[in-house]
Amino acid sequence: MAIGAFTTLRNLLVSRLTIGIGGLLALGLTTAQTVVDAMSPHAVPTVAAGTPIVAGRWQVTLHEASLSTDKRPDGYRGRPGTKALAVDLDLANRSSESNNVVSRILSITPPIAGLSPTPTAYLMRDGALLGALQPGLPERIRMVWEVPDTTPVPETLRLVVTGETFKPRDNLFAAPGWFNPKPVAAVTLPLKQAGKDPDR
């Protein structure tokens, strides 16, 4: 009888000890992951202009950047007191569906004061605003931000390309999609100063 009670007590202690160790390990792993996530991210690789960059659903090739008061590809002159900061790039949709969420692909670092939060994208072949980009059909795009005339701008522009990862099933709805946006490459372009549009 005493042996049975001792065995039961021992099994209970081993079980609780195992649960306690497992809980401590889980807490330790969670803490370590939190610390790693809070640390500075690894340096973003820098690539040369004209280099194709695979960024999840997109392939991006940056060509040149300019600052001007000239008319935009669709003829719009911009708001008075602003200039257009433009970046020309080739963009290809690597996914299987049409998409137009291109405004999150590029970010300018360090940020420029007064820069519009999101760019407007134009198709260079006809000057139209970019609608949905079809899969497998690369396009030459011009992305345009507005910046106040009085804002000082750098001589070079560092552009960071953001990529996403495809997951066949997400954790919330078990649906496919592109997730986890993160910087995948950076390109530094000289910022060309274009002339003022005489009709402005």
Distances (CA, A) of 78 to 82, 158, 172: 7, 23, 41
Give burial (CB, 10 Å; 0-12/13-18/19+) of 2.
exposed
CA–CA dist 63, 53 (Å, integer): 12
71 phi and psi, to 5 degrees?
-65, 150
Express the helix, strand and coil content of the chain in percent, nearest 5 each. 20, 40, 45
Per residue in 71-88, pLDDT tens? 898 888 889 999 999 999
Per DSSP (E only), the strands in 99-172 are: 106-108, 120-123, 139-148, 156-167
Q: Residue 1 pLDDT more than 60?
A: no
CA–CA dist 121, 141 (Å, integer): 7
Percent of the chain with pLDDT over 90: 55
Per residue in 82-119, pLDDT tens? 999 999 999 999 998 898 889 889 999 999 999 999 99
Question: How many residues would you count in the chain?
Answer: 200
What is the pTM assigned to this prediction? 0.74
Mean pLDDT of the chain: 85
Q: Residue 175 pLDDT more than 70?
A: yes
